[in-house]
Structure 1
Amino acid sequence: MSGRRVAVAGIGATAFTKDSGRSELALAAEAVRAALADAGLAPADVNGLVTFTMDTSPEIAVAQATGMGELSFFSRVHYGGGAACATVLQAALAVASGTAEVVVCYRAFNERSGRRFGAGLTRRAPSAEGVALGWGMPYGLLTPASWAALQARRYLHVHGLEPEVFGHAAVTARRHAARNPAAYFHGRPLTLAEHAASRWIVEPLRLLDCCQETDGGQALVLTGLERARTLRHPPAVVLAAAQGAARGQEQMTNFYREDITGLPESRVVAERLWRTSGLRPADVDAAVLYDHFTPHVLMQLEEFGFCGPGEGGAFLAADALPVNTHGGQLGEAYLHGMNGIAEGVRLLRGTSANQVPGAGRVLVTAGSGVPTSGLILGADG
């Protein structure tokens, strides 16, 4: 990424609930207005919008609902939660190239009271994506949990581990969520024993290995670094941003790879982030890792080079790196990873509920098992 340096200048969200009682457009508009207010900008300052292909609120509808003027850039990113950090990449490219001056990334849905992704596949028109899913559906692989469980079982077998190892990701997330007033599980930490006692969803995944379902919205404001420096909060500089799809990528999780115990799409992102930024895992002060299912937290730690294969659980247990200080999607809210980016910004501002002293560089990842994306955000200066 070349051109002007770019920063996240504003973050905003709705309340995270289980029944918003509002339209998804209303949630999107509230989150966008909150992010602009946080930055100290007006809707009229915005001339770019980015969201997910899965979002139901069109860019022009959000622009109209929030009082924006003309747009010179609008874009959407595919692959569900894998799109989260890629929305920031799209926005940063637009600002760096001069295509837009202020770009807002947003995601809003009634994922708990409306369409619940965890409910499994519903009737849908034939598509190229559906072909890949169709190979496993006759054998009972009908939900995201079942897709992740098959990979998780192989991971445990190859590394000689038991399902309890996944509990370290759940306990870490809930410990942080317990101290975060915005989190759904605020005040409710978790023990390894409670994790191990939770009911099976699809072995080896228990209820507490699966992220929650949430109604809500999250938005981020990006602009040039020089302009961001004049706004209300210290800017979170986009040091590196990347997308990644592995060879022979399928959605979600390719069971025909030679090795299904890792996340090669995350490795593609990791290699590009480290190369682009000139940083290494040891240079990162905190990580916000996409945690739709606990095994993928462990696998991401391994793919990004924080530890070796099969060592993710032990790495978390040793508390060697602050991970998901907002509580993650397991503890705070499931917002397709957008709330994780906001937490990265808070860590750099020094305003996280679980602040890491002196945090200057934060890794943020998006949905794994699908074509994905990632960011390294840094403090200014």
Structure 2
Amino acid sequence: MSGLRGSLAIVGIAELAEPAAGRSPAGMMAEVARQAITEAGLRKEQIDGLFTTTPYYYAPSLTFAEYFGLTPRYSDSTVIGGCSFEAYIGHAAAAISAGLCDYALIVYGSTQRSDAGALVSGSEWTEWERPYGMLHPISPIAMIANRHMHEFGTTSEQFAHVAVAARQWSALNPRAPYRDRPLTVDDVLSSPMISTPVHKLDCCLVTDGAAALVVTSAERARDLATDPVYVLGVGEAADHRNITGMPDLTSTRAADSVARAYRMAGLGPDDIDVAEVYDAFTMSLLVLLEDLGFCEKGEGGPFAASGAIAPGGARPLNTNGGGLSFLHPGMLGAFLLTEAVQQLRGTAGPRQVAGAETALAHGMGFTLGGHASVVLGLAQTL
């Protein structure tokens, strides 16, 4: 697998973060796909690999290929939750290296807010969970939070600092919806309780949105319109779908997926300049910070409360405001990648992390069950 290091490059990206305004998920996907392909200096006809998933369509790759007019010779609609798009990076690297496709499109779109939040993560084993009043996915996250508090003394105030840091980053993002509404720890703690100890402001936004990336071999990327961002390492891991199947409520397989990505990249957590980590909830993000190696297990609460993940802190994290304060259209993974690329390109504007040369994008699927990690870097990191 180490032979994939530096073999793949991201050569085009696009995002939509505004309300759908009557557009369909496929229509939004088509818009960002066109923009990303154009940015790369390619023609639609050159795209011969398609990687996509969305709960809106039973056969998303077929639906989108028809809608957009693609004829891919390789397609992948793997579903491991919101981290599917980080997984697609590794899948595309393998497919392109094997000659199964040359130019691949990774694309996602959702009209969740326009649909009044209709995109809901349920449980397959409802007979074991629903009778106990589980509200998916919030109640499983509450179980994780309660266990972390019990084992390590983590407090609701420390969880709240995660939301506050996200809002501080979003204040630097001109497209963020609440950039002019600062958030305090007291604001989070006084917001409605959804599933103890999860407050409303511990939860991600519900938005519309779409994102696309175009990837190809490092060799082909040298002849295209943009400066490539290279894939240095990838990793995946999974162990459960439902919270009743989670082996340890305070540790996840993120530690395994990121270890594989770090190993391939030849880097470690201290070498990462900027991190984009799936933040559906303050509690889940705090656990991931520990498992990704940014602090020791059990120290996530003090780490967040120290200001380390806020603007100016030692660990620049979710620099666009993330799912907590920028957007969360059902699945966030593609947007972690597009923000990481912007940071490495130096095009992130007021939120730009100075001198960023390496980035980690880590996605999670469902209630911390699926994980995929991607380490990205510039040409000098190869």
TM-score (normalizing by structure 1): 0.90
Q: Which letter does structure 2 place at the counterpart of 1:46?
A: I
2:250 paired residue number: 261
Q: Secondary structure at the match of 2:355?
A: coil
2:209 paired residue number: 216
Task: Give per-residue Cα distances to partners, 1:103-131, cap 9 Å, x unaligned.
Answer: 0001111112227367564xxxxxxx623
How far did residue 53 of structure 1 move?
Answer: 5.7
Could you tell me which of 347, 362, 366 is aligned with 2:363?
366
Q: Secondary structure at the match of 1:142?
A: coil
Equivalences for residues 70-149 of structure 1 within 5 A: 70-114=71-115, 116=117, 121=122, 130-131=124-125, 133-149=126-142
| C-alpha RMSD of matched pairs (Å) | 2.0
Is the 2:213–2:338 Cα contact (8 Å) retained in structure 1? yes
CA distance in 2, matches of 1:201, 1:274: 36
1:229 paired residue number: 222
2:290 paired residue number: 302
Change (3 A) 1:91 1:168: same
1:124 paired residue number: none
Could you tell me which of 281, 284, 290 is aligned with 2:269?
281
Q: Secondary structure at the match of 1:80?
A: coil
Q: Secondary structure at the match of 2:82?
A: helix
Is the 2:254–2:291 Cα contact (8 Å) retained in structure 1? yes
1:66 maps to 2:68: yes
Q: Which letter does structure 1 place at the counterpart of 2:137?
A: P
CA distance in 2, matches of 1:255, 1:244: 15
Aligned residues: 366
Could you tell me which of 251, 256, 280 is aligned with 2:241?
251
Task: Give per-residue Cα distances to partners, 1:211-268, cap 9 Å, x unaligned.
Answer: 11111211110011122223232211011111101xxx221334662x31122x2112
Unaligned runs of 5+ in 2: 309-313
Task: Give per-residue Cα distances to partners, 1:179-237, cap 9 Å, x unaligned.
Answer: 11222223333222211221111111111111111112111100111222232322110
How far did residue 314 of structure 1 move?
Answer: 2.3
Task: Give per-residue Cα distances to partners, 1:308-345, cap 9 Å, x unaligned.
Answer: 12211322333220000011011111142211110010
1:380 maps to 2:370: no
Q: Which letter does structure 1 place at the counterpart of 2:284?
A: H
Q: Secondary structure at the match of 2:148?
A: helix
Could you tell me which of 143, 147, 158 is aligned with 1:165?
158
User: Identical aligned pairs, as a percentage?
Assistant: 35
Task: Give per-residue Cα distances to partners, 1:78-106, cap 9 Å, x unaligned.
Answer: 12213120122222221122211100001
1:37 maps to 2:60: no
Change (3 A) 1:147 1:58: same
2:320 paired residue number: 326
Unaligned runs of 5+ in 1: 122-128
2:338 paired residue number: 342
Is the 1:198–1:206 Cα contact (8 Å) retained in structure 2? yes
Change (3 A) 1:297 1:45: same
Is the 1:240–1:277 Cα contact (8 Å) retained in structure 2? yes
CA distance in 2, matches of 1:229, 1:188: 43
CA distance in 2, matches of 1:60, 1:279: 38
Change (3 A) 1:308 1:7: same
CA distance in 1, matches of 2:153, 2:40: 49
Q: Secondary structure at the match of 2:342?
A: helix
Q: Which letter does structure 2 place at the counterpart of 1:327?
A: G
CA distance in 1, matches of 2:154, 2:300: 11
